[in-house]
Amino acid sequence: MSSIRPFRIAVPDNELADLKDRLARTRWPEPECVDDWSQGIPLSYTRELADYWANSYDWRAREAALNRFDHYTTEIDGLDIHFIHQRSPHQDAFPLLITHGWPGSIVEFHKVIEPLTEAGFHVVCPSLPGYGFSGKPTTTGWGVGKIAEAWDELMVRLGYDRYGAQGGDWGAAVTTQIGRNVGSCIAIHVNMPIAQPPAEGVGEMTEDLQKALARIDYYRKWDSGYMKQQSTRPQTVGYGLTDSPVGQLAWIVEKFWSWMDCDGNPENVVSKDEMLDNVMLYWLTASAASSARLYWESHDTWGGGGYVSVPTGIASFPLEILRAPRAWCETGYNVTHYTTMPRGGHFAAFEQPELFVEDVKTFFATVR
């Protein structure tokens, strides 16, 4: 346990002053030629968020709120990994590893960590390599498979010889890989399962199936440009995002608008402060390029892989970017629990923390 080091978020004042100065000197483009988000995040809303960021957002208060959790770092295979380790007061608490994706961070889970510990889980919430306060890989190889192995080593290092894992987005990819054959994980729960239409055809065209296919079609046509860029040239996109706070904000918040179940305004489900908390974990750590490299490393992860034989729980949110009916999931997972959620999108724990916590509790109660 000596290799586990306490960590506290403490951003120097000069970095906050630099941010404010850069925001004041933003070189703005002309407005979009439409009256909606179809060309990207609108200029007026971006200016509104940037003004709030510069003049109303209080990082020190937000920093203190994040520091209410127990943060640590540890070195795994030469890389510093940052994580929250929040222990439950319950004697028989079950260890639960929860992993975020892109463009998320540990901020996604700030509303569910305490309810989960109160419900009887020891929560371990790491920052992906190249994200947030984790180290940035300097060599290739830190893809989903290696991260899954590192996460299992982390859990063993913390003293857990059996645990559950949960994730969405890249967190779902890592969790799925853990559930295939890695270490001491006994069950997994995902809110974005890696599943595709079966090769032999989709079968009867039900309403749910129509919606799933429509979401895939929309994503491919209109919503996947970021993925192509980050999976092919992550270094190139990193220069602009690392240099411009408004650029980084726009790159992330557009996805909140598109991927959240928010009726056209992300502030219907999360606050400006919450969105900016997440943006700050990219901006303060200059992790635009290093986070994007995970796409370069593991883009093909979404195309296949071995069967997950451990019990698997799936929460299907209606506006998930890639919805997968249960029949699709059962070709790749041992699905023992499947919940069709009434509302919510891609950022499940961020958008619908109560629904998320309840489903996680219900599923893991069947395997503990």
Retrieve residue 218's tokens.
């929309």
Q: Is 5 helix (H, G, I), strand (E, B) or coil?
A: strand
- Domain region containing 71: 5-195+206-365
Do residues 88 and 121 touch, judged by C-beta distance below 8 A? yes
In order of 1, 27, 197, 250, 288, the CA distances from 240 in angstroms are 40, 12, 36, 12, 9
Please report, for the domain that includes residue 243, its CATH number.
Answer: 3.40.50.1820
Q: Is residue 200 part of a domain?
A: no
Total structural domains within the chain? 1
Answer yes or no: 18 catalytic. Answer: no
In order of 9, 141, 276, 333, 344, the CA distances from 129 in angstroms are 17, 11, 21, 26, 27
Do residues 106 and 42 touch, judged by C-beta distance below 8 A? no
**Active-site residue among 152, 169, 261, 359?**
169
Q: Is residue 257 part of a domain?
A: yes
Averaged pLDDT, 315-338: 94
Q: Is residue 201 part of a domain?
A: no
Q: What pTM did the predictor assign?
A: 0.96
The predicted-structure confidence for 184-233, as pLDDT tens digits, reads as follows 999 999 999 998 777 666 667 788 888 888 888 999 999 999 999 999 99
Q: Is 105 helix (H, G, I), strand (E, B) or coil?
A: coil
The predicted-structure confidence for 77-133, as pLDDT tens digits, reads as follows 999 999 999 999 999 999 999 999 999 999 999 999 999 999 999 999 999 999 999
Looking at residue 183, its pLDDT comes to 83
Looking at residue 146, its pLDDT comes to 96
The predicted-structure confidence for 238-278, as pLDDT tens digits, reads as follows 999 999 999 999 999 999 999 999 999 999 999 999 999 99
Q: Is residue 191 part of a domain?
A: yes
**Active-site residue among 295, 333, 337, 338?**
295
In order of 13, 68, 189, the CA distances from 282 in angstroms are 17, 20, 26
Answer yes or no: 346 catalytic. Answer: yes
**Active-site residue among 71, 110, 337, 346?**
346
